[in-house]
Amino acid sequence: MKPTAPALAVLAALALPAAASAHPSVYKDTAQTVPDETQPTMLVPQTRYVVANHGFTYVLRETNDRETGGMFDYKSIPGPYRATLTWDQLVAAGTRGAQAHATCEVASLASEQAIKAWQEGDPFYAYVPFQKGSAGLEDDPATWIPVVKARTGVDLATVADPSAACTGLGGTYVPADETQSTGAQFNSGLIEHETEPLEAALGDAEKAKLDLRGLLDAARGEVAKLTARLTPMTVALPSATMQAKGLRKQGTTATVSGPAGAEVTVDLTVPYGTARTLRLGSPRLDREQARLGADGTADVTLRPGKQARKALRKAKKALALTVIARTGDRVASSGATATLKSAGPAPVAVAAHTELTSTSPARGGSASTGIRAVTATFNQAIRGGRLKVKRRGGSKVSLGSGGRDPRKISRLKASLKPGLKAGRYKARWSIEAADGHEQSGSFSFRLR
């Protein structure tokens, strides 16, 4: 709703210089408002007070249901007439419901002496404020706070809850009327009108935010796809040597790593010449399917089939084994030697260009549960590799897949999760040597 012509005239008349008004004036106005825009014909009256003094205009909405006992309206009580009235008559005839401050309706603050104690000359307010701060009407809290403290014992400067303090005095706490500070806001409907463009802009900003979030999610998806394409495939065996008898009975476990969630095919094979010598129908001893986990790894158990196990018993010399893992267009392999029982108790290792020289903790040794990392050091620089640690019979305890130590290029390092328990642990490593060959192995240790 827009202000009516009479209301605008009143507002214009209020904008007078300070000298034009010796006492404040309070103008009462009743406007029609539409609280619910979906029902534009449902009008609700709204009482408002326009307070003018010393060149300012202050607008209040009647919200605390007090029709009198607020501010004095001196234009309705001329001086000669005012001189004939008692205090109670003056309050009844000259006040309006406009109340710019919160009050506490209690006997000690309701007397003429209490009300005049904080105001000079003719009082502007027919009450003692019961609040800490100014209402913005050139009023000073330092004038009423001492009066309230002297008459009630309540220090408004420090009290946290004036309403509770008033109740404690046995009084009734009355909040101030709501403020509508400028003439441009004289009708409440104008507030919504003025803020509507801002609300629309905020809506557009939220939509743009959602669009950007969609673009960000799409970009993250593309990054994930690119990362999967670039993630290398590796396969590692627990040791470069193994007993042929153990291979026949228990098989071996290969650790495959690559893109998380990838489907992989893992083959355990011997050379074609060995397959012909042992009269095997195929160089492949076993094939297994697996899916890499969220960390991009999977342990795959490989055991020769029944025909292959029979053929392995007839082997006259050590067997060269190769484990091959495939997914999409990527292939990784790792080799090992299966030694025969007749070769003696000490297995013969596969010739390697790079050798593991030391580990921390030491192989077969022990360390405190407070250790933060495991390392494997080689006799020469390596191109890269992985190092993972698991608790025996449990889950992985290393963070990520480890890798080459940037401070020493001949060493692998894997950081450990905090709060490890005492027990046996096994570390598995795989490297790409300086000459490009891939090697793998493992070592165990105990935490105490």
Q: Where are the domains of the chain?
A: 5-186, 234-343, 356-447
Residues pairing with 254 in the sheet: 300
Two domains, one topology: 234-343 and 356-447: yes
What is the predicted pLDDT for the residue at 23? 63
- pTM equals 0.38
Domain spanning 234-343 has what CATH number? 2.60.40.10
Give per-residue pLDDT as tens, 385-405.
999 999 988 889 999 889 999
Nearest partner of 447 among 410, 409, 417, judged by Cα:
417
Nearest partner of 292 among 355, 230, 228, judged by Cα:
228
Alpha-carbon distance of 14 to 22, in angstroms, equals 13
Give per-residue pLDDT as tens, 333-383.
777 677 764 333 333 333 345 789 999 999 999 999 999 999 999 988 888
What is the predicted pLDDT for the residue at 88? 92
Give per-residue pLDDT as tens, 146-162.
999 999 999 999 999 99
* Residue 163 token pair: 């309403």
What is the predicted pLDDT for the residue at 183? 42
Collapsing DSSP states into helix, strand and coil, what is residue 337? strand
Collapsing DSSP states into helix, strand and coil, what is residue 243? strand
Question: E strands of 67-139, at which residues?
Answer: 103-105
What is the predicted pLDDT for the residue at 186? 39
What is the predicted pLDDT for the residue at 158? 95
Return the CATH class of domain 356-447: mainly beta
Q: Does the N-terminal peptide bond of residue 361 adopt cis geometry, omega within 30 degrees of 0?
A: yes
Collapsing DSSP states into helix, strand and coil, what is residue 82? helix
Collapsing DSSP states into helix, strand and coil, what is residue 252? strand
Low-confidence ranges of the chain (pLDDT < 50): 1-21, 182-191, 193, 341-352
Residues pairing with 385 in the sheet: 431
Nearest partner of 356 among 257, 211, 236, 210, judged by Cα:
236
- Could you give the strand order of the β-sheet that contains 297-302, starting from the edge strand earlier in sequence? 234-236, 252-257, 297-302
What is the predicted pLDDT for the residue at 314? 79
Write down the residue that tokens 């709703």 correspond to: 1
Alpha-carbon distance of 388 to 295, in angstroms, equals 11
> What does the buried/exposed string (b/e) look like for 30-43 if buried means 16 or more CB atoms within 10 Å of the residue's CB?
ebeebeeeeeeeee
Answer yes or no: are the C-beta atoms of 379 and 357 closer than 8 Å.
yes
Residues 6+ apart with CB under 8 A from 294: 260, 261
What is the predicted pLDDT for the residue at 230? 60
